[in-house]
Structure 1
Amino acid sequence: MTDPFTLTLILIVALSLFGASVGLSMMAGSFVYLILKGFDPSIASETMLQGLFNNYTLLAIPLFILAADIMNIGSLADRLLRFAQALVGRFRGGLGHVNVVSSLIFSGMSGSAVADAVGMGKIIINMMTRDGKYTHSYAAAITAATATVGPIIPPSIPMVLYAIVADQSVGFLFAAGMLPGLLMALAMGIMNYVIARKRNFPVDEVVPVRELPRITWQAMPALMLPVILLGGIYGGIMTPTEAAAVAAAYALLISVVFYRSVSFSEFYQALLGSARSTASVGVLVAGAITFNYVITREQLPISIAEFVGQFELSTTGFLILINVLFLVLGMVLEGGAILLIVVPILVPSVQAMGIDLVHFGVIVVVNAMLGLITPPYGLLLFITANITGEPLMRIVKDIWPFILALIGALIVITFVPDFVLFLPRLLGYQG
């Protein structure tokens, strides 16, 4: 007779292939596992509810989603893009550099790669393709690639999820993402410059120096949001969850009062969109919590740790294996599912190898973001393809140089832990 756990895995995969959400598939599989094992099925709902309602950190996710949606309906994106254009538009491939810098700035507000691609993406793609300056496929490719920085620079929804499953500090994880995020942006900026020289992309309009103070002043309320958030968290004034609430309130305040760019109907639509996104994430988290109970019952993390231990891998060999595993999983699984399903299984092995869990968290999140731009799943590829109307394969052809640049950054992030942990240690992290 087939093992109940094996049947559970088959059911989860089958339901997912037939179009069910990963969260619902995990719930159904866990329910079947409990029945086959002779346990009370109500354990599934009890575990799910306890995991959802006893975790204060989870509240940060819907609040960051709301903040991002409010920023997308206001004029924040336009002002931030104008600011970025004034800074770097004068260089070869200028609008490509603007794309990188604007994503870097916006990432300090939204915590979501999708929010970055949908909000900033529409505007910058139109700017790049106007008058045929850049091909639609290149504009889509660089927009998808730069959006991956969103969840690396704090705040970060994926890092909140990782903090929950790995029992780590959200604040230290946020700090650990700063330098890697800047490195990723630098790698993409260099790649854009190389491609711009090769394809003879134009220099954008040069903004006179005398205009910089005015443009900066107009963007200042938006630029202050990351300062308020990170200053509040690391100054001990508020927790990351409270910072998420402040982000949503501040985004609404500056959109309505300072920029006067949000109507009541637009705000209502932002609330509806946030509710849908939150429900989607909530189902995934609930399914993962339930399935993690099954994993614990099967003692799978211990079995994996013992299996890996048999090969007597060095730390370097183990990290190479982990990166390959996550890069492959990222091609077929959504990033949240990777964080919530795979990470709890691997944590004991990571600890046994002596790898710092905050450092490991950054490695995992960067890999998950790479998964958003690698076919066949590549959610950001689908989003930018939808915006531009370009065939997916043309975008894939143009995005490979950026994937290689990001893999180069990932190698540094993986094998230079002091680079990742420098800022957390300055803030008191003992790892």
Structure 2
Amino acid sequence: MHESTPRQRIAGGLILLALLLQIAGFSGVINTTYAVSYGLWLAVVLLWRDIPLRSRRQAGVLIALGIGMLLVARWGYGARVDWPGIFTRNAFVVAMLVGVSFIALIGTQGNRRTEGQRVTGTGGVLRTWLGVHFLGTILNLSAVFMVGDRLSREKPLSTPQLLALNRGLSSAALWSPFFASMGVVIALVPNMQYGYVALAGFPLAMAAGLITTLELRRRFDLTEVEGFSLAPQSLLMPLCMAALVMLFHFWLTPTLSIVGIITFLLPTVALAFNLSQGPVYALRRIHQHSMTRLPAMRGEISLFLAAGLFTLGLSTLVDAATQEQWTLFAHFGTPEAMMSFVVIVLSAIIGLHPIIGVSTLASILALEGSEQTLFAFVALAAWAVGTAVGPLSGINLSLQGRYGTSGYYLMKHNLGYAALMSTLALIAIAVLAARL
């Protein structure tokens, strides 16, 4: 790992401060919204030159368009714009991402008791998918590196291994409350019912694992393809974290959103875990995480903040131009939901991150009641399929950078998977719409 520069360390400190301010704001004693967002944006400014070129261009275009549409809305249509507050969109989602990153301080990397037996063949592929999927529900992208690094110790990752990593993580977006996708969706439709979404999303995620295993067995000779099997005790951490979140959500802090609970709960658990080794050890690990891992999140942070600004600009301009009398669909039912899903997935294939399609769609819809839950599932399903197949998604860019593959190579091998998963997702959308 390269030594971080003073500029990067300052940015890491700002990101940590923003997280602490966000947690402090949950008390209701002080409003820290502006301070959190300004801290995160300032960190992005400091880290701008370090952001990969493609991500920087995408974020730059979103920022320019967002500000441009706000200017048009203000001076062309006389809309009222809260200029000091234009940078606050998606800041609390980013704070959640930062909070989730601290769970890596509990990490099991290098702990052989969590690795299970080494396996090959079809069973190995399935176990790789399961391991990445269930660890990824909590650890997010770091689960891919944990498993991928283990598999690539002796030789480069094969195509089946790369596809198992890709699909195992991306399909977790269908139901995991700890994913950035869920944070964005809850922010856009706060009254959505998570239970319905999870009941539809979890079976679809399991179908993704089955499809991956059967498809790769048909297309590749898996005899010598090594898989990764996690020991059963390694799944205790994701299960315990999910149980804790539900405990706080339904009993201890029912007025706090799931995003808010995750934001403070995961760093707290990570801190408590490390304090068992002594306060000096805990502080050293937190300092190292803040100075190295947090600045490394620059791509994610910049994209989510930029998408928030773009969404605000678009919704403000549309409302100003139409006097708040126009929405894309008068009613968000099955046909509209299916059409929205297809458009977001197609936009991901041409290189747009699903957050752009999801945020844009939400800004031009007037969703009420059960429509919010249906939209939430559409967004999560499109996110899961779109990030798997999209050549410029975070998972594919990460696999490209770490293991020397190509995002477009992965897209080519995922097109059939995306088509089949899209078919199942459209069926699930119809079933869910009929139930709501």
Same fold? TM cut 0.5? yes
Please list the CA deviations of residues 83-129 of structure 1 after superposition, one character each: whole Å capped at 9, or x if unmatched.
5756xx7684233222321233234325xxxx42xx12223224444
Partner residue of 1:94?
123
Q: Is the 1:168–1:358 Cα contact (8 Å) retained in structure 2?
A: yes
Identity over aligned pairs, percent: 8
Please list the CA deviations of residues 144-170 of structure 1 after superposition, one character each: whole Å capped at 9, or x if unmatched.
22221233322333233223333424x
Q: Measure the CA separation in 2 of the matches of 1:314 and 1:243.
A: 30
| Structure 1 residues 291 and 78: alpha-carbon distance in aligned structure 2, compared to 1, 3 A threshold | farther
Q: Measure the CA separation in 2 of the matches of 1:143 and 1:229.
A: 26
Q: Is the 2:341–2:382 Cα contact (8 Å) retained in structure 1?
A: yes
Q: Is the 1:183–1:409 Cα contact (8 Å) retained in structure 2?
A: yes
Distance apart, 1:45 and its partner CA: 0.7
| Structure 1 residues 63 and 188: alpha-carbon distance in aligned structure 2, compared to 1, 3 A threshold | same
Q: Within 5 Å, which residues of 2 pair with 1:32-431?
A: 32-34=71-73, 36-37=75-76, 39=78, 43-46=81-84, 48=86, 52=89, 60-72=92-104, 74-76=106-108, 83=114, 85=116, 92-110=121-139, 115-116=140-141, 119-129=142-152, 136-152=158-174, 153-169=176-192, 172-173=193-194, 176-177=197-198, 179-196=200-217, 199-202=220-223, 215-217=231-233, 220-221=236-237, 223-238=239-254, 239=256, 240=258, 241-254=260-273, 257=276, 263-268=285-290, 269-273=292-296, 277-278=300-301, 280-299=303-322, 302-305=325-328, 315-331=333-349, 332-347=351-366, 356-417=371-432
Q: How many residues align?
A: 372
Distance apart, 1:24 and its partner CA: 1.2
| Structure 1 residues 82 and 360: alpha-carbon distance in aligned structure 2, compared to 1, 3 A threshold | farther
Q: Is the 2:182–2:380 Cα contact (8 Å) retained in structure 1?
A: yes
Q: Is the 1:304–1:345 Cα contact (8 Å) retained in structure 2?
A: yes
Partner residue of 1:11?
none
Distance apart, 1:414 and its partner CA: 1.1
- Worse-superposed segment, 224-233 or 22-31: 22-31
- The AA in structure 1 aligned to 2:76 is K
Q: Measure the CA separation in 1 of the matches of 2:95 and 2:59.
A: 26
- The AA in structure 2 aligned to 1:105 is F
Q: Using structure 1 for the length normalisation, give the TM-score.
A: 0.71
| Structure 1 residues 249 and 149: alpha-carbon distance in aligned structure 2, compared to 1, 3 A threshold | farther
Partner residue of 1:428?
none
Distance apart, 1:219 and its partner CA: 5.7
Please list the CA deviations of residues 383-421 of structure 1 after superposition, one character each: whole Å capped at 9, or x if unmatched.
2122211244432333234323422431232111079x7
Unaligned runs of 5+ in 1: 1-15, 53-57, 422-430
| Structure 1 residues 176 and 315: alpha-carbon distance in aligned structure 2, compared to 1, 3 A threshold | closer
| Structure 1 residues 302 and 376: alpha-carbon distance in aligned structure 2, compared to 1, 3 A threshold | farther
| Structure 1 residues 272 and 378: alpha-carbon distance in aligned structure 2, compared to 1, 3 A threshold | closer
Q: Is the 2:129–2:168 Cα contact (8 Å) retained in structure 1?
A: yes
- The AA in structure 1 aligned to 2:60 is S
Q: Measure the CA separation in 1 of the matches of 2:323 and 2:169.
A: 34
- The AA in structure 2 aligned to 1:328 is L
- The AA in structure 1 aligned to 2:396 is L
Q: Measure the CA separation in 2 of the matches of 1:223 and 1:251.
A: 15
Q: Using structure 2 for the length normalisation, give the TM-score.
A: 0.70
| Structure 1 residues 316 and 286: alpha-carbon distance in aligned structure 2, compared to 1, 3 A threshold | closer
